[in-house]
């Protein structure tokens, strides 16, 4: 038996604006519409399904495992946007990159306050 992560619903004030921003920063295909969702498909087939939320919702955390080339490209897109990023989830190290587990990682604020993270090595090492 296999178990794989398939999708998660991401609450948003504007599903297509939020999905488009995340897709653009990550260098992924434009979101596509499916029912009430704006879907962003990741390279492993898992999806972020952005859905409009009318009520307040908590900010969530979404982490992406990327290769070194993708890390550099995403980091550059963040710089081009004038975005702030941190080496840590508590926002104590602005403009820095962490080197946990002999990789690289950083956090940034995504649409609607969600905290996005990219790492080049899974936690606990390769």
Q: How confident is the model at residue 124 (pLDDT cuts 50, 70, 90)?
A: confident
The residue whose two tokens read 């948003």 is 12
Residue 126 confidence (pLDDT): 64
Decide if 54 is inside a domain: yes
Which domain, by its residues, includes 87?
7-119
State the average pLDDT over residues 98-116: 96
Decide if 76 is inside a domain: yes
Residue 84 confidence (pLDDT): 97
Decide if 124 is inside a domain: no
- CATH code, domain with 113: 3.10.180.10
C-alpha to C-alpha distance for 61 and 107, rounded to whole angstroms: 10
Neighbours of 19 (CB within 10 A): 26
Task: Give the pair of three-digit tokens for residue 18.
Answer: 């939020």
Query: Across all residues in the chain, what is the average pLDDT?
Result: 96
C-alpha to C-alpha distance for 42 and 6, rounded to whole angstroms: 10
- β partners of residue 52: 12
**CA distances, 3 to each of 8, 70, 122 (Å):** 15, 26, 18
Task: Give the pair of three-digit tokens for residue 82.
Answer: 């004038």
Total number of domains in the chain: 1
Condensed to tens digits (0 to 9), the pLDDT of residues 38-97 reads 999 999 999 999 999 988 999 999 999 999 999 999 999 999 999 999 999 999 999 999
Determine which helix (DSSP H) or strand (DSSP E) holds 76, and give its type and residue range: helix 68-81
């Amino acid at each position: 038996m296999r178990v794989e992560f398939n999708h998660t619903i991401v609450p948003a004030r504007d599903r297509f604006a939020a999905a488009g921003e995340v897709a653009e920063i990550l260098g992924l295909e434009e979101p596509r519409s499916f029912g009430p969702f704006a879907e962003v498909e990741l390279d492993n087939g898992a999806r972020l399904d952005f859905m409009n939320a009318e009520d307040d919702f908590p900010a969530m955390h979404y982490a992406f495992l990327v290769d070194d080339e993708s890390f550099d490209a995403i980091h550059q897109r963040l710089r081009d946007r004038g975005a702030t990023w941190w080496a840590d989830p508590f926002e104590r190290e602005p403009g820095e990159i962490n080197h946990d587990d002999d990789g690289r990682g950083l956090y940034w604020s995504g649409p609607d306050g969600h905290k996005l993270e990219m790492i080049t090595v899974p936690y606990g090492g390769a």
